[in-house]
């Protein structure tokens, strides 16, 4: 068998039945091999390789399983780069294959030769160049192991053409071993004990849950910990939905555009219990004042994250599910009691936050209105994917997600254009749920060509374009910090998204008034093809509250806070 | 924050193409400054030993160790502290001879520092010195008065004691 066939067989053994890819000279042998594995594996032909990478990400984010994208050498592989970098920032397990010129031509500046090993080095967890057909299977097997185990991340594999056409002569190993890769899964029991004792002693404990808990599939364990201890739960943007956001103890997301109640609790806590979160600058603001008066427990599978940004009192290295389970067991032994004073205060202020100030609706629709409507119409299993910008932050702030892996967004990289292809990947992974894409008019146009993929692959999603004619997030920064000196942020009113929908053979509905919203979304859910809702959003609405970049949490301003003072009293 | 000082980090790495780029690239990306770097084979096939010195406080050291450990090609990372390891560097230094008096003095110093004279011409003396980097620093400093024509240092290598 040649290298290409072994490649496909290895993918199938790894549980892959669908890939996202785009052909070219160097990968002709690979796509040729697909013809021999019909019914076992298929490729979804994207319209641009960036789409392949984001679609793989969407698949991985929705399913928790690793996903594969493929491009040809040179420009094809270069087009994967944004998606690989995005996956790296958000710890998403994708395996990206790039074709390469034959080994005999490497280093000669042959046609469509690009040093992809060099380019992907700083944006992958690891990368491999297959040098002989015999290395094909073991390198792919190692890549899957690396992508998935410990803290996940993307792996790039460079495929010189002759490694796919050449014959594999050695037997395929059943297992691979990587000497330098043994992530710590089991936490140190002494640290668990210390953490449990600190929790028992604390008066105002707060959970800060990050995507690590999503990755380790520990939502059930987390719910048990909370039901035992009644500790309020804040999450990062990336972990949205890991804990039912309609639960009375859910405070929603923290950080720059997080909910005030979550940031308030962060200011007031005396013990922050952080699990699977890397304390990004969008969460902490000014590191000097962040939780300056609280003790911090930090549990993470990546030891390099502990102490990187925030000074930690009790570090725990290990898998989140293990840690939560053991912590719960330890706390049961200690017979911890609910901190009733604290939960009462939290519930009291949370009420303000839930009620919010009413929206002043102008001629066009306020973004928040859309989110509140969607909260009513989506089912708990349904998935929301977003673009990047104001609409993304409105979604993060106002949507109430109830299950893990239902909120999919580019967090660490903030990649405009992520939304549409990621929504394709999510729908392929979860064909039985509704996938809502909440996208910006700017973001959507960055990967709009994937509407072709949607049509031809028969994928049905619901596209909600939050059309404000602006690169809204940048416009907001210019309004707030540059005295409204708007420069290069107005997009105008093109294109006509309904005509775009029509051109691709899809459905389109314009939503100009609040009163049309409900029926339009319902219609899009009912339609049997993808529908684009062109939602006419107020042009200059701002996402608030907002924490200034590098600012102090207590100075977060604006937002839907009825009640006293600039922030909560006290 | 603790004081900045030199840290010697020893690591075993897989002898793969590009492993040096990976490690050097990670240092550059995270803003850690490599002071010296040496690489060599070990007795185990496919495993190389790399010794890197960095200047920084304890927090930098901790991050360096953790980030290096994270690289897939890294098998083991250790800090080599002065009390628990033998730390050596080799230096070749070519010094100008301006007159007889200078020559005698240079030779006297090379003896005190236990260096080996590896080349001598009417105008230059080249000495080979093996020692810890501080000793080499001080020898070079001492030779500056005579005129140092060329210095070549290998960078630090180290083994643990016992
Ligand atoms: C690829 C890329 N380019 C530029 C940016 C910078 N950026 C962040 S948000 C934003 C505006 C997004 O506009 P739109 O998609 O219309 O969303 P809105 O903010 O209007 O809701 C820009 C330009 C980015 N995040 N990604
Ligand atoms: Mg916009």
Which residue, among B14, B45, B66, B72, would best test binding to A if mutated, counting the most A CBs under 10 Å from its CB?
A: B72
User: Quick check: B50 contacting A, CB < 8 Å?
Assistant: no
What pLDDT, in 10s, does the model give residues B88-126?
999 999 999 999 999 999 999 999 999 999 999 999 999
Q: Does domain A189-355 have CATH number 3.20.20.60?
A: no
Cα of A87 vs centre of ligand 2, distance in Å, is 24
Q: Domain residues of chain A, as ranges?
A: 3-165, 189-355, 360-536
Cα of A60 vs centre of ligand 2, distance in Å, is 27
Domain that holds residue B75: 5-79
pTM, to two decimals = 0.95
What pLDDT, in 10s, does the model give residues A534-560?
999 999 999 988 988 999 988 888 775
Q: Among B79, B96, B122, which residue terminates a domain?
A: B79
Provide the H-helix boundaries in A64-153.
Answer: 75-89, 116-120, 136-148
**Distance between CA atoms of A272 and A297, rounded to whole angstroms?**
6
Residue A567 has pLDDT above 60, yes or no: no
Task: Between A351 and B49, name the one with better pLDDT.
Answer: B49
Q: pLDDT band at A562, cuts 50/70/90?
A: very low
Cβ-based neighbours of B111, under 8 Å, separated by 6 or more = none
Q: pLDDT band at B59, cuts 50/70/90?
A: confident
Q: Copy the structure tokens of residue A238.
A: 């990336």
Q: What is the interface pTM, i.e. ipTM, of the complex? A: 0.88
Q: Do A189-355 and A360-536 come out as alike in CATH topology?
A: yes
Cβ-based neighbours of B99, under 8 Å, separated by 6 or more = none
Q: pLDDT band at A561, cuts 50/70/90?
A: low
Cβ-based neighbours of A35, under 8 Å, separated by 6 or more = none
**Distance between CA atoms of B117 and A423, rounded to whole angstroms?**
71
**Smallest Cβ distance to B70: which of A178, A304, A307?**
A304
Residues B45, B109 within the same domain: no
Least confident of A43-47, A55-59, A335-339, B47-51: A335-339
**Smallest Cβ distance to A180: which of B17, B67, B73?**
B73
Residues B60, B101 within the same domain: no
CB A465 within 8 A of CB A441: yes
Residue A437 has pLDDT above 70, yes or no: yes
Percent composition of chain B: helix, strand, coil (DSSP 3-state, to 5): 30, 45, 25
**Distance between CA atoms of A136 and A164, rounded to whole angstroms?**
8
Q: pLDDT band at A357, cuts 50/70/90?
A: low
Q: Among B79, B104, B121, which residue terminates a domain?
A: B79
**Distance between CA atoms of A195 and A330, rounded to whole angstroms?**
9
Residues B9, B67 within the same domain: yes
Please identify every residue of A annotated as catalytic.
49, 111-112, 161, 473
CA dihedral B138, B140, B145, B148 (to 10 degrees): 180
**Distance between CA atoms of A356 and A410, rounded to whole angstroms?**
27
Q: What atom in ligand 1 is closest to the CA of residue A415?
A: 26
CATH number at residue B115: 3.30.70.1150
Q: How many domains, chain B?
A: 2
**Distance between CA atoms of A481 and A554, rounded to whole angstroms?**
19
The H-or-E segment that residue A58 falls in is helix A49-63
What pLDDT, in 10s, does the model give residues A97-153?
999 999 999 999 999 999 999 999 999 999 999 999 999 999 999 999 999 999 999
Residues B100, B133 within the same domain: yes
Q: What atom in ligand 1 is closest to the CA of residue A466?
A: 21
Q: pLDDT band at A223, cuts 50/70/90?
A: very high
Which pLDDT belongs to residue A323? 98
**Distance between CA atoms of B48 and B36, rounded to whole angstroms?**
16
Which pLDDT belongs to residue A360? 74
A360-536 topology per CATH: Rossmann fold (3.40.50)
CA atoms within 13 A on the CB side of A47: 16
Cα of A420 vs centre of ligand 1, distance in Å, is 14
Give the C-alpha distances (Å, rounded to integers) separating A148 from A14, A25, A33, A300: 11, 30, 26, 15
Apex A438 CA angle, A437 and A441, nearest 5: 115
CATH number at residue B26: 3.30.70.260
Averaged pLDDT for residues A54-69:
98
Backbone angles phi, psi at A205, to 5 degrees: -75, 150
Q: pLDDT band at A358, cuts 50/70/90?
A: low
Q: What atom in ligand 1 is closest to the CA of residue A82?
A: 1
Q: Among B53, B79, B105, which residue terminates a domain?
A: B79
**Smallest Cβ distance to A180: which of B17, B18, B74?**
B74
Averaged pLDDT for residues A486-493:
97
Does the beta carbon of A415 sit less than 6 angstroms from any atom of ligand 1? Answer: yes
Least confident of A55-64, A312-321, A557-566, B130-139: A557-566
Residues B43, B64 within the same domain: yes
Provide the H-helix boundaries in A430-541.
Answer: 441-446, 451-457, 472-481, 497-503, 514-526
Give the C-alpha distances (Å, rounded to integers) separating A306 from A16, A206, A419: 33, 18, 31
Residues B94, B46 within the same domain: no
Q: What is residue A108's three-state secondary structure? A: coil
User: Quick check: B29 contacting A, CB < 8 Å?
Assistant: yes
Q: What's the Rg (C-alpha) of chain B? A: 19
Percent composition of chain A: helix, strand, coil (DSSP 3-state, to 5): 45, 15, 40
Q: pLDDT band at A335, cuts 50/70/90?
A: confident
Residues B90, B75 within the same domain: no
Apex A115 CA angle, B9 and B32, nearest 5: 25
User: Quick check: B14 contacting A, CB < 8 Å?
Assistant: yes
A219-246 per-residue burial string, b: 16 or more CB within 10 A, e: under 16: bebbbebbeebbbbbbbbbbbbbbbbbe
Candidates A129, A304, A122; CA nearest to B25 is A122
Q: pLDDT band at A570, cuts 50/70/90?
A: very low
Q: What is the mean pLDDT of chain B?
A: 94
- CATH for A3-165 is 3.40.50.970
Averaged pLDDT for residues B65-86:
95
Q: Write down the residue that tokens 């083991």 correspond to.
A: B76
β-pair partners for A536: A467
Q: Provide the pairing of β-strand A18-21 with A67-71.
A: parallel
The H-or-E segment that residue B38 falls in is strand B34-41
DSSP states of A241-272 = TSS-TTSTTEEEE-STT--HHHHHHHHH-SEE
Q: Copy the structure tokens of residue A264.
A: 């308030």
């Amino acid at each position: 068998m040649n290298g290409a066939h072994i490649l496909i067989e290895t993918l199938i053994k790894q549980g892959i039945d669908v890939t996202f890819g785009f052909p070219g000279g160097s990968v002709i042998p690979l796509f040729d091999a697909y013809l021999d594995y019909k019914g076992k594996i298929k490729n979804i032909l994207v319209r641009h390789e960036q789409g392949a990478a984001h679609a793989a990400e969407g698949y991985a984010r929705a399913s928790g399983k690793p996903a594969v994208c493929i491009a040809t050498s040179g420009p094809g592989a270069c087009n994967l780069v944004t998606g690989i970098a995005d996956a790296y920032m958000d710890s998403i397990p994708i395996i990206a294959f790039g074709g390469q010129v034959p080994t005999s031509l490497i280093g000669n500046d042959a046609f469509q030769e690009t040093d992809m090993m060099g380019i992907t080095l700083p944006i992958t967890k690891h990368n491999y160049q297959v040098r002989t057909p015999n290395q094909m299977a073991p390198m792919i097997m190692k890549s899957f192991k690396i992508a998935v185990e410990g803290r996940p991340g993307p792996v790039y594999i460079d495929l010189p053409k002759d490694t796919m056409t050449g014959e594999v002569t050695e037997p395929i190993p059943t297992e691979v071993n990587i000497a330098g890769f043994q992530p710590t899964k089991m936490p140190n029991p002494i640290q668990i004990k210390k953490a449990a004792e600190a929790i028992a002693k604390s008066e105002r404990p707060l959970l800060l849950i990050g995507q690590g808990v999503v990755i380790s599939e520990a939502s059930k364990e987390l719910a048990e910990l909370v039901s035992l201890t009644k500790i309020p739960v804040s999450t990062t943007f990336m972990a949205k939905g890991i804990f039912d956001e309609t639960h009375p103890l859910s405070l929603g997301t923290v950080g720059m555009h997080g909910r005030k109640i979550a940031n308030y609790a962060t200011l007031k806590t005396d013990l922050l219990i952080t699990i699977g979160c890397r304390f990004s600058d969008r969460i902490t603001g000014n590191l000097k004042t962040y939780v300056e008066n609280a003790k911090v427990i930090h549990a993470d599978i990546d030891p390099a994250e502990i102490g990187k940004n925030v000074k930690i009192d009790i570090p725990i290295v290990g898998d989140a599910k293990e840690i939560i389970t053991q912590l719960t067991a330890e706390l049961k032994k200690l017979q911890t009691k609910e901190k009733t004073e604290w939960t009462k205060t939290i519930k009291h202020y949370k009420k303000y936050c839930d009620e919010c100030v009413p929206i002043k609706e102008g001629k066009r629709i306020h973004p928040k209105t859309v989110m509140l409507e969607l909260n009513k119409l989506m089912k708990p299993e349904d998935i929301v994917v977003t673009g990047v910008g104001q609409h993304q932050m409105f979604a993060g702030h106002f949507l109430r997600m109830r299950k893990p892996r239902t909120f999919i967004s580019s967090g660490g990289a903030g990649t405009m254009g992520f939304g549409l292809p990621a929504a394709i990947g999510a729908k392929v992974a979860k064909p039985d749920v509704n996938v809502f894409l909440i996208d910006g008019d700017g973001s959507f146009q960055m990967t709009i060509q994937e509407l072709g993929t949607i049509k031809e692959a028969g994928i049905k999603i619901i596209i909600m374009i939050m059309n404000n004619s602006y690169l809204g997030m940048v416009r907001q920064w210019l309004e707030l910090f540059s005295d409204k000196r708007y420069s290069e942020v107005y997009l105008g009113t093109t294109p006509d998204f309904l005509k775009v929908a029509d051109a691709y053979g899809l459905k389109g509905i314009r939503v100009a008034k609040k009163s049309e919203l409900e029926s339009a979304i319902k219609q899009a859910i009912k339609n049997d093809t993808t529908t684009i809702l062109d939602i006419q959003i107020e042009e200059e609405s701002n996402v608030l509250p907002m924490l200034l970049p590098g600012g102090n949490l207590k100075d977060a301003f604006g937002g839907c806070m009825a009640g006293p003072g600039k922030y909560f009293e006290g | 924050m603790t004081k900045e000082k030199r840290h010697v980090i020893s690591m075993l790495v897989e002898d793969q193409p590009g492993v040096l780029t990976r490690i050097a690239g990670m240092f550059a990306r995270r803003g850690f400054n490599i002071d010296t770097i040496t690489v060599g084979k070990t007795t185990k096939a496919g495993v190389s030993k790399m010794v890197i010195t960095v200047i920084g406080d304890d927090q930098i050291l901790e991050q360096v160790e953790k980030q290096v450990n994270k690289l897939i090609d890294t098998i083991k990372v250790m800090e080599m502290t002065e009390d628990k390891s033998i730390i050596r560097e080799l230096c070749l230094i070519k010094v100008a001879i301006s007159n007889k008096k200078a020559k005698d003095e240079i030779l006297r110093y090379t003896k005190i520092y236990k260096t080996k004279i590896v080349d001598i011409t009417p105008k230059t003396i080249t000495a080979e010195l093996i020692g810890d980097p501080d000793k080499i620093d001080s020898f070079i400093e001492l030779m500056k008065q005579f005129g140092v024509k060329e210095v070549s240092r290998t960078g630090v290598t180290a083994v643990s004691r016992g």
